[in-house]
Amino acid sequence: MSKKRVLSGIQPSGKLHIGNLVGALQNWVRLQDEYECYYFIADWHALTSQYADTSMLKDYVQDVLVNCLAAGLDPEKATIFAQSRVIEHAELHVLLSMVTPLSWLERVPTFKEKQVEVKDRDLNTYGFLGYPLLQSADILIYRAHYVPVGVDQMPHLEITREIGRRFNNFYGEVFPEPEGLLTQFPKVVGTDGRKMSKTYDNCVFLSDSPKEVEQKIRTMTTDPQRIKRTDKGDPELSPVFHLHKIFSSKAEQDEVSEGCRTAGIGCIDCKKVLIKNLFTILEPIWEKREHYLKKPDELEDIITAGSKKAREAATETMHRVREVIGLESLI
């Protein structure tokens, strides 16, 4: 029995933070023993909204790769690659575009939402409209069974299934229907209590130093109604407690929660527990980051080998695709 295929991607649109770690990377690591995994850096996707200034692209791609490896992805187990190095994704994208009704793309919720949210860039482009279709090509080209993502990506998975079905109807069964594997922590709050996001400047980055992490947690907002040390607090109103739910043991959660409600502990005491737990998780990551950052050649070799392997799998599908459409050969 061959293993089922898993595929997922991450955009190099900024430095990765602890939300990406628990929302994506840790899941990816968990899956690599059980499935045939393909994980990639979606550099073309980053370009759909960051096309005007690409000066940071290379750094972000490197940051994603280093963090994937530091979080525990093993290039011997999983195929790790860059989207732009498997140009067959673009070929499938163009072929899928032939059968994709415009209205399907226009009604994807992220299309309008992001256009409203992003003010400093013009997202009225063909590339941005086609974002979900490029994602469909990413998934279908590996004939993936499972796609680990956050719930925000479910509309993209839905359109992927619809497009795969439509292609199969026109030309014959090529693509299986991929299923989403939802992550346990799709949203992590940032230091200000809003969703952790580089646009809000509220991230704890995996590339932050221990000092920076400590400083960011120490200055985090807490229950706004707990002003004096003697005030009783409500942990549910504190973003610090939200992070405890992800990074601390149940016993510690109960302890800080009780301490907060009774004013038994102060906010700094509570934050110290969180800092300790973050350090435990981040220390091995920091160590491995340092190792890889000193060895850019090793990084280049890993992405080159992974991209070559991914390309073999993608090429296999593309032969099928060209054949069923009638593009493969004249005889």
Which amino acids are annotated catalytic? Answer: 114, 195, 198
Integer Cα distance of 176 and 156 in angstroms: 16
Size of the site for ligand TRP (CB under 6 A): 13
* Buried/exposed code over 73-82 (b: 16+ C-beta within 10 A; e: otherwise): bebebbbbbb
Integer Cα distance of 37 and 149 in angstroms: 14
**Of 5, 15, 17, 45, the one binding ligand TRP by CB under 6 A:** 45
Residue nearest to ligand TRP (CB): 9
First to last CA, the chain: 35
The pattern of x and - marking residues 191 through 220 that bind ligand TRP according to CB under 6 A reads ------------------------------
- Closer CB to ligand TRP, 157 or 274, in the complex: 157
Residue with tokens 């090509």: 137
Tokens of 52: 């005007």
- 147 lines the binding site for ligand TRP (CB under 6 A): yes
Closest contact distance (angstroms) between CB of 125 and ligand TRP is 16
Instruction: Please give, one letter per residue, the 3-state secondary structure of 43-101.
Output: HHHHHHHCCCCCCCHHHHHHHHHHHHHHHCCCCCCCEEEEHHHCCHHHHHHHHHHHCCC
**Of 16, 66, 92, 139, the one binding ligand TRP by CB under 6 A:** 139
Q: Dihedral of the CA atoms 223, 225, 227, 232 (nearest 10)?
A: -80
Closest contact distance (angstroms) between CB of 44 and ligand TRP is 9
- 271 lines the binding site for ligand TRP (CB under 6 A): no
CA dihedral (195, 199, 202, 206) positive or negative: positive
- 43 lines the binding site for ligand TRP (CB under 6 A): no
How far from chain centre, in Å, is Cα 271?
A: 27
The pattern of x and - marking residues 151 through 180 that bind ligand TRP according to CB under 6 A reads --x---------------------------
Contact call for residues 128 and 13 (beta carbons, < 8 A): no
4-33: contacts with ligand TRP (CB under 6 A): 7-11
Please identify, among the stretches 145-153, 200-208, 266-274, 315-323, the one whose residues bind ligand TRP according to the rule CB under 6 A: 145-153
Which residues would be at the binding site for ligand TRP (CB under 6 A)?
Answer: 7-11, 42, 45, 135, 138-139, 147, 149, 153
